[in-house]
Amino acid sequence: MPQSTDLLQGTLDLLILQTLTLEPMHGWGVAQRIQQLSEDVLQIGQGSLYPALYRLEYKGWIRSEWQITENNRRAKYYRLTQTGKKQLAAELATWDRLSSAIASVLGGAAEASS
């Protein structure tokens, strides 16, 4: 089983929002999709997934409704709201800035060590 990596604080929200841009999904689906896309590097503990979903819902970025899954079971589906979309854009911009900043710091360190 591949090594899982701890998530940086706050990135879980970003991942969930990004995952939900494609289609409405239920909790299990969100966790699976993140795991697949990250090639099993990122495994979301259910203990943090649902609180995160409820938090996003409280903030008004996603909405939920009960639907029937492809396996013919009742499940709660989450979808992105308009404000959620805007928030995602803002968070993506922040993330880009942050990651490039980290990259440049780490790049400098790599040069120094070489």
Partner 1 sequence: MSLWSRISNAVRGERLNREIEEELQSHIEEAIASGRDPREARRAFGSALRAREASHSIRVAGWLESLLADVRFGWRQLCRNKVTSVAAVLSLALGIGSCVAAFRLIDALLWRPLPISNPSKLYVLSRKMIGLYGKPAEDSYWATPDFNLMRDAAKDQADLIAISDADRTDITWSTDDDMEKAHVVYVSGNMFPVFGLEPTLGRLLAPADDRGPGASPYAVLSWDYWNHRFGRDPHILGRLLHIGDQTFEIIGVGPRDFTGTETGTITDIFLPLNMNSFATQDNMMWHRSFLMLKPGLNPATALEPLRQHLSAVSRAFEAELSKHFSGMPQTFIDRFLNKKLVFYPAGAGISDLQKDYRRSLAILGLLASLVLLIACVNVANMMTAQAAARAQEMALRISIGAGRRRLVQLILCQSALLALLASALGAFFAAWSAPFVLSRVNPPDDPARLALTADWRVLLFGVGLMILIVLFLGLLPALRVSAVRPVVALKGGEDPHAPRRLMRGAIALQVAFCFLVLFLSSLFVTSFQRLQNRPLGFSTDRLLLLETVADKGQLPVIWNQTAEALRAVPGVNSVAISGWPLLGRIKINSEISINGAPPSPTSAWFLNVSPGWLSTMKIPLVAGRDFNPEDTSPGAAIVNETFAKTFFPGQDAIGRTFARGSNQPPYKIVAVTPDVPYSDLREPSRPVFYAPFDEIDHKSAPSTVDFATFVLHTGAQNPLALADSLRQLIAQRHNGLRVSNVTTQLDLVRDQTVRERLIAMLAAFFAVVALLLAGIGLYAVLNYSVLQRRREIGIRIAIGSTRAGIVRIVTLDVFLMIALGGCAGAALGFGAARYVASLFYQVKATDTDMIALPALAILLTTLVATLPAVLRALRTDPTVILRSE
Q: Is 28 in the site for partner 1 (CB under 8 A)?
A: yes
Q: Is 29 in the site for partner 1 (CB under 8 A)?
A: yes
Q: What is the DSSP string of 37-91?
A: HTTTS----HHHHHHHHHHHHHHTSEEEEEEE-TTS-EEEEEEE-HHHHHHHHHH
Shortest Å distance, C-beta 29 to partner 1: 8
Burial of residue 9 (CB within 10 Å: 0-12, 13-18, 19+) is exposed
Residue 70 or 111: which CB sits closer to partner 1?
Answer: 70
Q: What Rg do the C-alpha atoms of the chain give, in angstroms?
A: 16
Question: Which among 15-23, 24-32, 85-93, 104-112 is the span making contact with partner 1, rule CB under 8 A?
Answer: 24-32
Binding flags for partner 1, 71-100, as an x/- string (CB under 8 A): x-xxxx------------------------
In this chain, which of 5, 8, 37, 45 binds partner 1, going by CB under 8 A? 45
CB atoms within 10 A of CB 30: 19
Residues in contact with partner 1 by CB under 8 A are: 26-29, 32, 45-47, 50-51, 54-55, 57-58, 60, 69, 71, 73-76
